[in-house]
């Protein structure tokens, strides 16, 4: 009797290294959702300011003023200190956007 040597077929089960590599989530810098702290104690009365709009960002002062600056005998309201600083850099260029009363 002949022993049939079953040729073990080497089934190279090439498991395609299942590297389910997820598309790398390119995490952009977390868009810091500027959460404005509601600080009712530090708000200015829009009646006290002479501008209708924040000269730096164009936001109407009715939306809230967080900071003010004096400019040529006028009191200007800003939505925030950043806008105020922006205005201070170039007041003459921005004053038109303030829509003074
Ligand atoms: Zn602003």
Residue-wise pLDDT tens for the chain (101 aa)? 555 655 555 555 555 555 555 666 666 665 555 555 555 556 789 999 999 999 999 999 999 999 999 999 999 999 999 999 999 999 999 999 999 98
DSSP character for 48?
G
From the CA of 71, how far away is ligand 1's center (Å)? 16
Expressed in angstroms, the distance from the first to the final Cα of the chain is 113
Angle at 56 between CA 29 and CA 52, to 5 degrees: 130
From the CA of 64, how far away is ligand 1's center (Å)? 9
CA distance 14 to 33: 48
From the CA of 77, how far away is ligand 1's center (Å)? 9
Q: Domain locations in the chain? A: 53-98
């Amino acid at each position: 009797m002949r022993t049939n040597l079953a040729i073990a077929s080497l089934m190279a089960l090439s498991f395609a290294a299942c590297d389910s590599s997820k598309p790398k989530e390119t995490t952009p810098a977390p868009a810091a959702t500027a959460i404005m702290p509601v600080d009712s104690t530090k708000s200015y009365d829009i009646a006290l300011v002479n501008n209708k709009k924040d000269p730096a960002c164009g936001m109407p002062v009715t939306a809230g003023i967080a900071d003010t600056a004096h400019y040529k005998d006028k009191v200007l309201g800003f939505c925030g200190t950043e806008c105020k600083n922006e205005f201070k850099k170039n007041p003459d260029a921005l004053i038109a956007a303030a829509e003074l009363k």
